[in-house]
Amino acid sequence: MAHGMNNRFQDFFTEQPYVVLKNHLYNYLLRMRAVRRSVGRRDRGYTLEVGSGISPMHSGGKGVVFSDLSFDALAILKKTSSSAMYVVADGMNLPFKDGAFMNVICSEVLEHIEHDRDAVRELAGVTHAAGTLIITFPHRKRYFALDDRFVGHHRRYELSDMVDMLEASGLKAVHVEKVLGPLEKITMWTVVLCYSAIEKRLHFQSTDRGGHAKIAHLILPIFKWLNTVYMGLAWLDARIMPRSLSAVLLIQAKRTGD
């Protein structure tokens, strides 16, 4: 979705084995579960996921539209996802009619966009008057650090910032949910710090795709197990820690007055 987005983690996931690895990351799974709970059984009309990339929040199916700025990402997704519709589009200029979707999903996207308020207005525009906009976003400005820069974040948000942007676009927040707690921030900061140190020391070059694919297949069982265990810890962390310390929040919004 983000125009000119620079997400270095995405570089590692352009082959099937890497897609499998990415789709078993604990933080992706927890976000996906939170979004799917929010969508629930509201299957009336069409659902749009903006900035789906190769790892969408929705499971797909009839009436679901996956949209992303990257043609390559949608091509990969189409090979691995269930039946759905795929539209290459810039989230700043969505090619859909006003109010076309009952559910609009935008997960971990707005922080990559320079003019995020314009993007929220675009999302609000394609949300039906009786529909719901679901957004997940990195929380707490004071958490902004090297891991945010590594994945191309322009910013992190306070909850009040997101509520203000929604209200400016004619939407009101109706539900806020903790998705990931401070453990997520500590984990990602540590992972990026270690990776950056290894990259600098070994002058890592991602060129041997065949060799990397074999390694990915070999480590997949251990990777799945570790992420399953860590997902439990991250879920518990999000539940017990106060919302003020959350690293990722989910917010549902509806049209004002509806």
Tens place of pLDDT for every residue, the chain, 258 residues? 444 444 544 554 455 556 667 888 999 999 999 999 999 865 578 999 999 988 899 988 889 999 999 998 898 888 877 689 999 999 999 999 999 999 999 999 999 999 999 999 999 999 999 999 999 999 999 999 999 999 999 999 999 999 999 999 999 999 999 999 999 999 999 989 987 887 676 665 555 555 555 666 677 788 888 999 999 999 999 999 999 999 999 999 998 865
What is the reported pLDDT for 5? 41
What is the reported pLDDT for 215? 60
What is the reported pLDDT for 255? 87
Locate the DSSP E strands across 114-190. Answer: 127-138, 171-180
* C-alpha distances out from residue 152 to 7, 94, 140, 146, 239, Å: 5, 22, 16, 10, 28
Closest-CA residue to 57 (of 71, 76, 83, 36): 36
- What is the reported pTM? 0.88
What is the reported pLDDT for 205? 52
| Beta carbons within 10 angstroms of residue 163's beta carbon | 17
- In three-state form (DSSP H/G/I as H, E/B as E, the rest C), the secondary structure along 29-66 is HHHHHHHHHHHCCCCCCCEEEECCCCCCCCCCCCCEEE
d(CA 197, CA 68): 32
Closest-CA residue to 249 (of 182, 183, 179, 186): 179
What is the reported pLDDT for 13? 47
Query: What are the tokens at 235?
Result: 């879920």
Domains of the chain with CATH codes: 8-255 (3.40.50.150)
What is the reported pLDDT for 217? 65
For residue 101, the one-letter residue type is F
